[in-house]
Structure 1
Amino acid sequence: MATAADEPKTFRDWMAGCDNVKTCTAISLPPETAETVAYLRLERPAGLEGAARLLLRVRGEWKKPPATLQLKLDGAAFPAGSKPLPVAADGDVVTLTFSAEDAAALIEAARKATKLTISAPGISGSVSLAGSVAAMLWIDEQQGRLGTGTALVRKGTNATVPPAPALPVVAATPVPPMLDMKAAKQQAGRLRAELKKRSPDSCEDDAAEGDSAWSLGDKRMLVALACSRGAYNLSSSFFITPENEPAKATPLRFADGDGNDGNELTNASFDPRTGHLAFFAKGRGIGDCGVSGGYAWNGKDFVRMELAMMGECRGIAPEDWITLYRSTAK
């Protein structure tokens, strides 16, 4: 799926990216063959007050998740002389949220250290720090922090840091109650038949069970035609059409859409209560890489609300992917 935003950049074993309001994220990439998936994730908003937040995620197969983790930097205890650090568990993932002091110490140590190792009863893992300094230096550059006291890496005496851009506000508009299934299938079936007359190969017939339609009010319909089904991805084409007039349908144009008209989304879902249309294009079946995002209906069109990406399939959960666009709904 093409993206209108700048894609994340890779720095050896790390990846980094920034969104439209200059909130930037750096994340370590676990080895493809790691038995225990462990990664660091650093996120920092732009502006003078933007504070870095550093997390360590560890995913393992355990009957009872560990309550603490013991960390070492190149074999030396981290933090120096510390006891194991407490973690929060959520299913098969535990999260260690570093204090501001420990985060600053780890960022400073990354200049020379090469590996963070993690251990707990029955668990061992590691995080490579190769590329972490370059990723953080790049973030400092994107946020205008180079040579300032707030820089992650290249600090200086300059006290001026550019403010964060304003967060876009989208006027999301709910739509009328959902059509019943029969009416939705009728609207979609009429459009599918119309498009088949124009372009017989545009949509696979065996995916038609995924078709749907919703009322947008004022006798307008949003119609999704399921056009291509794979092992774990379903691609749908979206149109706006006058009710019962499929010949007048027009394809939507999404900021990150695929297809000839940019009106295709993968694994899309629409919530008429909020007017929000989401998609999740998986890079592989377990959903640890790909592109996700969403749009809001504003009464006239669908405008982009959020976009996140993870280009490497390394066991990183979708909630930790690098955000490339964000907004807020009014």
Structure 2
Amino acid sequence: MISTILAKTITLCTAMLSLFVAGVISIPQPSQFSDWTVACDNVLHCEAIAGFASGGSADEWTLHVTRSALPQAAPQVEGFPAFGGPIESGRIRFDGREEGFKFENNGQLVGDPYAFLSALARARIVEVMSHHGNVIGTLPSSGASAALRWIDDKQGRAGTVTAIVARGQQPATDVPPAPVLPRIAQPATSSAPPRLLSSSDVRTIRSLGEGCEENPPEDFPLGVETYRLDSTYTVGIVGCFLGAYQGPSVIVVIDEEGSWDLAPIELPEEMAEYRLGSPWQHMLTGAGYSSEDRLLTEWSKGRGLADCGTSASWAWDGEIFRLTAYRSLEVCSGAQPGTWPSLWQTANDPIGDGD
């Protein structure tokens, strides 16, 4: 028993040492302005998620605003009933006045997005009206002006004709060019089959996770998957346990001799604060691997509605899984499932801003 505990401790400490050296990355942080969460990632792709701080109700709507850093890029606006309620197209009224804007039944705004957001930033009460003139929802406006000004400033648009709130007369050419997407270099692919884990390996790996099922039932939905990374290594995803709506897996890397180690995974600072130094630094929730994209992924809902949570992806560089994308929304206020703002992206897993 003592030797088993000692072996487990040594394994964990060895993996932690490697992560302390190369496993943490600093990423941009979001800001909160009343009902509005705003974030700009490492290439200044900016997003705003607006939902009522009270937690939302059936007659409240949420807003999602995105804008790339390209100087001529226009903001994109979507509006939806909170908590995935039925979408109904409707006209928009600002403090009792209609100004020609509406949402289609797919959530897309119809009308000039600059004028819409400017009116929203000035208004106190913003309502969505049905075609019959009934109020079918309200939009969050508290904090809109400060949030949109924050985006103007982050993208260097303040004082230019491209700003939303801090608008001026300077031309779009005064907006700084968009930063270049970084790319994680990866070793060549291999057509060799992935290495496999023995039943004994799987039991040992599960013992290194936190709260893992030691002897899961045959119909356990989180099984064991392995995928070829390159000519030398295979990634193993070992299901740990299943909660109410999702479950974590322990991630390992297997060499050509069949030996495995807990996977070194580069973590965002905010994630490292609570994962580093614990079994969770090698565990991912909703884990998966795409051989086509060569990406290890996590999709972790903050609650069952998925109106908050985190998602991330990593690329294997031959030594460590490097962060390639990260989205996070801490505030749960009824946003569309998985609508979490980008905090990090790379050319390995880009958003694809093209406007």
Question: What's the TM-score once normalised by structure 1's chain length?
Answer: 0.80
| Residue 73 (structure 1) aligns with | 94
1:284 shift after superposition: 0.8
Does the alignment pair 1:249 with 2:261?
yes
What is the aligned counterpart of 2:71 among 36, 42, 48? 48
1:12 aligned residue (34, 38, 57):
34
- CA deviation vs aligned residue, 1:75-111 (integer Å, no higher than 9, x gap): 11132xx7xx4614xxxxx313233x3x222222234
The code of the aligned residue for 2:160 comes to T
Q: Quote the Cα distance in structure 2 between the aligned partners of 1:112 and 1:218.
A: 59
User: Aligned equivalents of 2:229 and 2:77: distance in 1?
Assistant: 42
| One-letter identity of the residue aligned with 1:249 | D
User: Per-residue displacement from partner, 1:102-137 (whole Å, max 9, x unpaired)?
Assistant: x22222223431122112268711112110000011
User: Residue 214 in 1 paired to residue 227 in 2?
Assistant: yes
Work out the number of aligned pairs and report it. 308
Do 1:148 and 1:156's aligned partners in 2 also have CA atoms closer than 8 Å?
A: yes
| Structure (1/2) with the larger strand percentage | 1
Q: For the Cα contact (< 8 Å) 2:209–2:250, is it kept in 1?
A: no
The amino acid that maps onto 1:96 is Q
Query: Structure 1: where are the runs of 5+ without partners?
Result: 89-93
Identity %: 25
1:110 pairs with one of 95, 116, 120:
120
Deviates more, 1:169-178 or 1:222-231: 169-178
Tell me if structure 2 keeps the 8 A contact 1:21–1:46: yes
Q: Distance in 2 between matches of 1:288 and 1:42?
A: 15
Contact 2:313 2:326 in 1 (8 A): yes
Q: Secondary structure at the match of 1:108?
A: helix
* Separation (CA, whole Å) in 1 of partners of 2:232 and 2:347: 28
Are residues 87 and 278 of structure 1, via their aligned partners in 2, closer, same or farther at CA, if it must alter by over 3 Å?
Answer: same
Q: Is contact 1:24–1:45 with CA below 8 Å preserved after alignment? A: yes
Alpha carbons 1:178, 1:272 under 8 Å: kept: no
CA RMSD in angstroms, aligned pairs only:
3.2
> Is the partner of 2:122 in helix, strand or coil?
coil
2:214 paired with 1:205: yes
- 1:315 pairs with one of 328, 331, 334: 334
- Structure 1 position 165, deviation (Å): 0.3
Alignment of 1:160-309 (within 5 A): 160-170=174-184, 176=191, 184=196, 187=197, 189-195=199-205, 203-206=212-215, 210-243=223-256, 245-246=258-259, 249-256=261-268, 258=275, 260=277, 262-309=281-328
Q: Does the 8 Å CA contact 2:43/2:178 hold for their aligned counterparts? A: yes
* Aligned-partner Cα distance in 1 for 2:140–2:115: 16
TM-score by structure 2 length?
Answer: 0.75
